[in-house]
Chain A
Amino acid sequence: MTITLVSPQIEVMKMDSIQEKNIVYQTSQLNLWYGEKHALKNINLDILENEVTAIIGPSGCGKSTYLKILNRMIELVQGVKITGEILYRNRNILDRSYQVEELRTKVGMVFQKPNPFPKSIYENVAYGPKIHGIRDKKVLEQIVEKSLRSAALWDEVKDRLNQNAYSLSGGQQQRLCIARCLAIEPDVILMDEPTSALDPISTLKIEELVKELKKEYSIIIVTHNMQQAARISNKTAFFLNGEVIEFAPTSKIFSNPKDKRTEDYITGRFG
């Protein structure tokens, strides 16, 4: 597998120019503190529908933190202070009146390490629909099949849906987690370095999947792998020390970065 580091994606450029897309997330003046540490500084980002938005940057730059705000998973961390505004479909998610469960039903998440529940493959996928009140066995079966198909896992597991999810390989587990996320048909899928614990072949499969999924979902993916960002994303945001240094179409970021720091990072001079 040879990948040129700077690979302008012609296909992506074409898609961008075709139509005006709706804004999914509108972040303005976002600041975040972990105790005393100012981890996100004045973030302004607009994320569009049916696109893959990649967030890149060195470790500790705040990229995962930003992702976790988008479905308010950040609330599980204690001692966090947030100011600013994030509009999801024109509603401020940081508003206390926004029910966090409602938000997370719309915004799914896939984690760095595959984290299927210690249940059967079937139960893993059916968990989301079940907690949201879908009890009908027939409906659940359909949802499970559809989700596993969309996650390109159906053919591999259709004969062993009752086996424990941990009997699957790491890559399969991660696709199962994607299927679990798809089972409630979210609007947005957040991915936090979803391939960092996987081997190259599994990584490739997930990347193919992401390209497929963006037809129906808006995807925001944090990655420390720049080639991955170049391969699969429409737009890329470069984070450094809690700031957005540059946010532009991926082809542009990788071929003609405006900022010196972006260039240094993507050419591997640091990070």
Chain B
Amino acid sequence: MLLILLCFRMGVIELAIQNVNSLSIQKLIEEKKKNHNTAGIIEKFIPMILLLAAVVSVLTTIGTVLTLIFETITFFQTVSILEFLTTKKWYPFSETEGTFGILPLVLGTLKVTFIAIIVSIPIGLTSAIYLSEYATERTRRIIKPILEVLAGIPTIVYGFFALTFVTPLLREIIPGLELFNALSPGIVIGIMITPMIASLSEDALVSVPNSMREGAFALGATKFEVALKVVLPAAISGIISSIVLAISRAIGETMIVAIAGGSTPNVDWNVTNSIQTMTAYIVQVSQGDAGYGTTIYYSIYAVGMTLFIFTLIMNLIAQYISRRFREEYE
């Protein structure tokens, strides 16, 4: 069918070429237009279809947030906001009456995220600088795709990597480290988000115009001085965005902490014992037997809301910082 259509079209073109000598091109165009009334209709409808797609995605987002808000409100009708925010205990499954204090879960998330940041920022940034300023074109062509593949590994794989490889290894070094702890998933999340920081920061560094580097080299700057004092500051807004994006991922990361972090909400800054993060709690409840309509069921929305507020704040900070530190060229 397609072939026939193609042949037909080619025939038309040949005809057109033959006619060029006798007919003026303007006339040819006019004739074509007569046959293409559909073009006008398409021009009219395409923007509407595009708008529809945009509206669908916006509505979905609004819908999700609304669900989150409504269910959270329901939760706060049984548990007071004050208790939720100030109590330092999270015992939802207590036989008599559950205690819902978000702090232990928040602390669990923060501990893991903090470790992940400590691991990922130095490694990610250093490799980005290496790739953009020092590596040869060939090295870059090999390493960049590998980084992007790393970013695509399913997180559950990372989770078992943490539990069955990193934790035993750490227990060799740190005596008294529990089987489930904050350290191991923290490190593994750090490993997981490193390629993201490296890859996005490298994009930001590479997009700094070469004339900047030349200007600095011409003043007698060494390669390292050029990278650190000209290229890095010029790319800082892109780099900060990449870091914040990575932190958001670390905060929202679920599988790794659910597998290797444990399910004991603790209120301390100790990273060697078992923890529970906000995401891991949501997983625990959703796979458990909390019935629809119970307080525990609604509590996952309240926790989800808290998580949402965290990432929202992160995004706002990112926008502010990247605007504040933007170094524009041209």
What is A's interface to B at a CB cutoff of 8 Å? 71, 73, 76, 101-105, 108-109, 111, 113, 115-119, 127-128, 130-132, 164, 166, 177, 180-181, 184
Complex Cα–Cα for A131 and B221 (A): 7
**Residue from A105, A128, A164 within 8 A of B328 (CB atoms):** A164
Pick the contact of A73: B212, B218, B330 (CB < 8 A).
Answer: B218
Q: Residue among B219, B229, B234, B327 with the most chain A CB within 10 A? A: B219
Residues facing A in B190-224 (CB within 8 A) are: 209, 211-222
Contacts of A111 on B, CB cut-off 8 Å? 211, 214-215, 218
- Are A117 and B217 also in contact (CB < 8 A) when A164-B328, A166-B329, A166-B330 are? no
By beta carbon, the residue of chain B nearest A127 is B219
Report how far A73 CA is from B213 CA in the complex, Å.
11
**Is A127 in contact with B216, judged by CB distance below 8 angstroms?**
yes
B220 and A132 form a contact (CB under 8 A)? yes
Chain B residue total in the interface (Cβ 8 A) = 22
A118 touches B218 (CB 8 A): no
* Residue B14 CB within 8 A of the other chain: no
- How many Å lie between the Cα of A73 and that of B233 in the bound state? 23
Give, as a whole number of angstroms, the nearest-CB distance from A188 to chain B: 12
| Interface of chain B: mostly helix, strand, loop or mixed | helix
Q: Given A127-B229, A131-B229, does the pair A118, B329 have CB atoms closer than 8 Å?
A: yes
| B148 interfacial contact with A, CB 8 Å | no
Q: Tell me, in angstroms, the Cα distance from A76 to B133 when the chains sit together.
A: 12
Contact B218 A181 (CB under 8 A): yes
- The residue in chain B whose Cβ has the minimal distance to the Cβ of A105 is B220
Q: A111-B211, A166-B328, A166-B330 are in contact. Are A76 and B233 (CB under 8 A)?
A: no
* Cβ-neighbour of A108 out of B219, B225, B327 (below 8 A): B219
- The listed residue (A102, A118, A177) touching B234 by CB distance below 8 A is A118
Does B230 sit at the interface, judged by CB under 8 A? Answer: yes
CA distance A256 to B209 in the complex (A): 43
Q: Is the CB of B219 within 8 A of A128?
A: yes
Question: Contact: A117 with B212, CB < 8 Å?
Answer: yes
State in angstroms the CA–CA spacing of A132 and B330 once bound together. Answer: 27
Contact B327 A119 (CB under 8 A): yes
Binary A-proximity of B234-260 (CB < 8 A = 1, otherwise 0): 100000000000000000000000000
Given A111-B211, A115-B209, A131-B216, 17 other A-B residues pairs in contact with their CB atoms under 8 A:
A73-B218, A76-B217, A101-B221, A101-B222, A108-B219, A111-B214, A113-B211, A115-B211, A115-B214, A115-B215, A119-B233, A128-B219, A130-B229, A131-B225, A164-B328, A177-B215, A184-B219
Which of A76, A103, A111, A115 is packed against the most chain B CB atoms within 10 Å?
A: A115
Minimal Cβ-Cβ distance residue in A for B327: A118
Once the chains bind, are B215 and A131 in contact (CB under 8 Å)? no
The CA-CA distance from A30 to B330 in the complex, in Å, is: 37
Per the bound structure, the CA–CA distance linking A244 and B219 in Å amounts to 28
In Å, the complex CA distance between A180 and B212 comes to: 13
Cβ-defined partner of B220 (8 Å) among A76, A101, A118? A101
